[in-house]
Amino acid sequence: QLTIPVRHGQDIIAVFSLEKNDYDSFSTVERARVARLCERAAIALVNARLLQETQQERQKLSTVLTTTEDSVIVIDPDGNIILVNRAAVRIFGLDNKADFTDKPFKTVFANSPLLELYNQGVKTNGYANREFKYNDATFQINMAPVQHVGFSMILHDITLFKELDNLKNDLVATVS
């Protein structure tokens, strides 16, 4: 029997065991081949575990982005869309069945106030902040650079806060 640990660094992540009918019948060449096979198996096992963890984290991120009420848009440095969540699709009346990945931001959002903010943000190293009205709602939008990704745009609906502020102003005016 030939038993070789499959190692990743100092950790043993598996054990590889082979058997032959004859006593001490594994040659030096066979032992070396099995050792190389175990090295490759260790890499494959580590990569499989990393892939599984990445897929789980991607699923978590997708769930968060899908269920959040804030609009999230991520754009690469070339101006192409990486991600648009459901809230952004709904607010801007985009086709909810379309895939906007790798499409130019300036084309998809050509008729929205986001285009002006995007152009401003690109000129100012990716930073922009503005409040704007769109379809009877008021939004606070922040654009910021994201290292190794591009830019992110987060839109927060502040319509309720604006209405409350107007009510407060009306109350103060009435009391005065």
Q: What pLDDT shows up at residue 153?
A: 92
Angle at CA of residue 101, ends 98 and 105, nearest 5° = 95
pLDDT tens-place string over residues 12-22:
888 888 888 88
Whole-prediction pTM:
0.68
Q: What pLDDT shows up at residue 130?
A: 86
Q: What pLDDT shows up at residue 75?
A: 92
Query: Can you list the residues of the chain whose pLDDT is less than 70?
Result: none
Neighbours of 92 (CB within 10 A): 19
Q: What pLDDT shows up at residue 76?
A: 92
Tokens at residue 141, please?
């939008």
Beta-strand relationship, 150-157 and 71-75: antiparallel
**CA-based end-to-end distance of the chain:** 95
Q: What pLDDT shows up at residue 104?
A: 92
d(Cα 60, Cα 67) in Å, to the nearest integer?
11
Q: Report residue 26: phi and psi, to 5°.
A: -85, 120
Q: What pLDDT shows up at residue 25?
A: 83
Beta bridge partners of 144: 152
98-102: Cβ within 8 A, 24+ apart: none
